[in-house]
Amino acid sequence: MTTIQLTWDVLQPDSSKYKSIFSSIQEKETDFFSIVQPRLLNGLQCLQNQINGFPLLLVSGQENKDYLSIVAQMTKNNLNISSKLFGGTYQITSNKIMLGPPVDIKNPFTTDGGIYFTDWVNMQLLFGCVRIYNNNIQLEPGIIHRANGGTLIIALKPLVEKPLLWFYLKRFIEQGYAEWISKDHLGPLPILIPPMPLTLKLILCGDITSIEKFRTMDSDAYNIAIYTQFEESIKIIDHLSMLAWYNWSINLLKKINLSIPKEDFWPELIKEGVRFTKDKEILPLCPIWLLRQFRESALIMNKILNAKSLSKSLEMRLWRENYLNNLIQEEIIKDQIVIKTKGEVIGQINGLSIIEYPGNPRIWGLPLRITCVLNPGENEFLDVESKCDLSGNIHTKSIMIIQSYLIAKLKKQIPFTMSLVFEQSYSEVDGDSASLAILCVIVSALSNCPINQQIAVTGSIDQLGNVQPIGGLNEKIESFFNLCFNRKLTGKQGVIIPQQNVRHLSLNNNVIMAVKNNHFHIWTISHAEEAFPLLIGKTWYEEKQEDCLLSIIQKRLNKKNILPKYTWPIIFNKIKSWI
């Protein structure tokens, strides 16, 4: 078991090996869609090659225009170009409407089988309508007429909210012609209108909630549909995958008419991307997220995209969204929320949590004081949060894991009541990321050895004491660093994190410079016992060493075990007699 103190260069993703990709504009376009969206591409190819059956593709993804436009672009890239015309030509007289063959592409009901996408539909927009004014009849085409012969891409949510739309659309596609529908959907039309021949492939894009509602609404269509996924991220494993992500980003830039960013823009975007995906090897493909970075950066320096414009836009966004978090930080600085960053205390430790403010787009890190005291009792673990119904199931599970670990290590029941509290916590506590800190504070209370308050701890543990990765790592580290920075860095402050979380690090420059100058430290551990020397200054177990924590605790437990069971009742009765 080894504790590792991290150096500053591993606290952010290293994009220097991809410098050649960002330093020159790629002259030859690569087939980046096949690398960036292989599942979606395969689904589109299956749909376009489908001859028999109901031509339906379900795409799991977000339901907005940015996503739909990419699905449309990829569909167009895989569309077999045909010179055939679809639809027809309506000829309207005073009391009769006739349908002729498709002749002129300029006719509103004649198409060449293209691509059409929309994020919203209703009955009139989807199926068209019949307008009558002063006895003049006018037929207005709907989306299905414009997409006739080609592929129609629709956001799924409007269809599951109004099932009648879906069942009309399904029937028209299955029967091969689209009928005209009256305004009330019930009565007949004032005049007979020949139905329009319809050839249509259908793509429905929806999130998992919409897709599940669609399955419930029409399980038959769900079961025969081709299913695929719009991938939200890409794993960067080599130059080819990074080049594909770069070209994907450039493709999005072209949609909003922005120039290609400067070379130094990309490393900054990658750092922010890693904070978004929470993994150094994974970069975001989400069009909404990428376009936001481009647009906000373009506002800073008159549409010039470089490292300075992106950094400035991120700083401004943080400032705009940071009001509530600043209030909490000020409360800590004023000691209204008590968090110690100096000295040593028995049975007290600085844990790290994340908090979400309702209506705020960010999660924030928040230092959390956890205390443990011992009282007379018999192997009772009093988790105050659970007793007050202020804990979730995962937190309760983590407490039970800690109990199991301690009993296995000590090989005996604990003759105390251990009372554990998340101090000044007034809302529900959940998750297992504080379980390492909880174990350490219990060991401190059992051994009567103080914990260094200059170090904060985060990490989950299993029954064997192995430390497991947790979420919100960057925000947690930065929250404790900001507190220490505001109180003045001592050069001995730092954070203990799980070893597996190193791949998730993308810290801000203030933390990196402090680590580089040895003003702040980040240690990684893989087992709970590795935290004790850092926090308490003693190892858990050393053979033939009486000063190790296990020996200290066992001696203390043995002293308690030899006390007669009637000692406390006798003392209590004597006290009562004195009152």
Which residues touch 421 (CB under 8 Å, ≥6 apart)?
Answer: 370, 371, 372, 384, 385
SS3 (DSSP) at 131: strand
Please give the C-alpha separations between residue 570 and each of 18, 377, 443, in angstroms, as whole numbers. 75, 15, 30
Please give the C-alpha separations between residue 473 and each of 135, 268, 286, 295, 479, in angstroms, as whole numbers. 69, 19, 22, 27, 10
| Residue 339 structure tokens | 């968090």
Q: Using CA atoms, how far apart are residues 109 and 196, in angstroms rounded to an integer?
A: 9
Which residues touch 23 (CB under 8 Å, ≥6 apart)?
Answer: 263
DSSP for 413-432, written as a single string? --SEEEEEEETT--S-B--S
* Matching residue, tokens 């299993």: 462
Orientation of helix 287-298 relative to helix 265-277, angle to 10°: 140
Burial class of residue 522, CB neighbours in 10 A (0-12, 13-18, 19+): buried
Residues 422/355, Cβ–Cβ less than 8 Å = no
Q: Using CA atoms, how far apart are residues 169 and 64, in angstroms rounded to an integer?
A: 21
Residues 474/511, Cβ–Cβ less than 8 Å = no
Residues 210/154, Cβ–Cβ less than 8 Å = no
Burial class of residue 336, CB neighbours in 10 A (0-12, 13-18, 19+): exposed
Using CA of residue 217, residue 221, residue 227, residue 231, what is the dihedral sign? negative
Catalytic residue, candidates 241, 433, 479, 526: 433
Orientation of helix 287-298 relative to helix 239-255, angle to 10°: 60
Q: How many CB atoms lie within 10 A of CB 495?
A: 26
Residues 308/316, Cβ–Cβ less than 8 Å = no
Q: Using CA atoms, how far apart are residues 408 and 406, in angstroms rounded to an integer?
A: 5
433 is annotated as an active-site residue: yes
Q: Using CA atoms, how far apart are residues 481 and 478, in angstroms rounded to an integer?
A: 5
Catalytic residue, candidates 201, 476, 526, 538: 476
Angle at 328 between CA 322 and CA 329, to 5 degrees: 80
Q: Using CA atoms, how far apart are residues 155 and 166, in angstroms rounded to an integer?
A: 12
Residues 363/472, Cβ–Cβ less than 8 Å = yes
- Taking alpha carbons only, the member of 198, 168, 171, 162 closest to residue 182 is 168
404 is annotated as an active-site residue: no
Residues 459/498, Cβ–Cβ less than 8 Å = yes
Q: Which positions are annotated as active-site residues?
A: 433, 476
